[in-house]
Structure 1
Amino acid sequence: MSQPSFHQTAAGRRIAYHRLGGQGGGVVFLGGFRSDMEGTKAQHLAAWAKARRAPFLRFDYSGHGASSGAFLDGAISDWADDACEAISALTEGPQILVGSSMGGWISLLVAQAMPEKVAGIIGIAAAPDFTEDMWAAFDAEQRAQLLREGVVNLPSDYSDEPYAITRRLIEDGRNSLVLQSPLPLTVPVRFLQGTADTDVPVSVALRLLEHATGPDIRLTLVKGADHRFSTPDCLDLVAQTLEELLG
Structure 2
Amino acid sequence: MTEFLEGPQGRRIAYNRVEGAGPGVLFLGGFKSDMQGTKAVFLEEWARATGRNFLRFDYSGHGESDGPFEEGAIGDWLADAQAVLSALTEGPQILVGSSMGGWISLLLARAMPERVAGLVTIAAAPDFTERGFWAEFSDLERAKLLREGRILRPSDYGEPYVITRRLIEEGRAHLVMEAPLPLSFPVRFLQGTADRDVPASWATDLLGHAQGLDMRLLLVKGADHRFSTPECLGLIGEAVEELLERI
Distance 1:188 1:77 in 2: 25
Which of 163, 186, 207 is matched with 2:205 structurally? 207
Structure 1 residue 186: deviation in Å? 0.3
Distance 1:5 1:190 in 2: 30
Letter in 2 for 1:62: S
Q: Is residue 164 of structure 1 aligned with residue 138 of structure 2?
A: no
Which residue of structure 1 aligns with residue 77 of structure 2?
79
Distance 2:157 2:113 in 1: 34
Q: Is residue 173 of structure 1 aligned with residue 166 of structure 2?
A: no
Does the aligned pair in 1 maintain the 2:7–2:83 contact within 8 Å? yes
Letter in 2 for 1:203: S
Which residue of structure 2 aligns with residue 142 of structure 1?
141
Report the TM-score when normalising by structure 1. Answer: 0.98
Structure 1 residue 224: deviation in Å? 0.3
**Structure 2: runs of 5+ lacking an equivalent:** none
Moved over 4 A (4+): none
Which of 171, 175, 191 is matched with 1:193 structurally? 191
Alignment of 1:126-141 (within 5 A): 126-133=124-131, 134-141=133-140
Overall identity of the aligned pairs, in %:
66
Distance 2:49 2:112 in 1: 29
Structure 1 residue 24: deviation in Å? 2.7
Which of 73, 88, 91 is matched with 2:89 structurally? 91
Which of 20, 26, 43 is matched with 2:41 structurally? 43
Letter in 1 for 2:196: T
Structure 1 residue 26: deviation in Å? 0.4
Report the TM-score when normalising by structure 2. Answer: 0.98
Which residue of structure 1 aligns with residue 18 of structure 2?
20
State how many pairs are aligned.
Answer: 244
The 10-residue stretch of structure 1 (10-19 or 40-49) with the greater mean CA deviation from structure 2: 10-19
**TM-superposition CA deviations, 1:36-94 (whole Å, max 9, x none):** 00000000000000000100000000000000000000000000010011010000110
Structure 1 residue 18: deviation in Å? 0.4
Which residue of structure 2 aligns with residue 120 of structure 1?
118
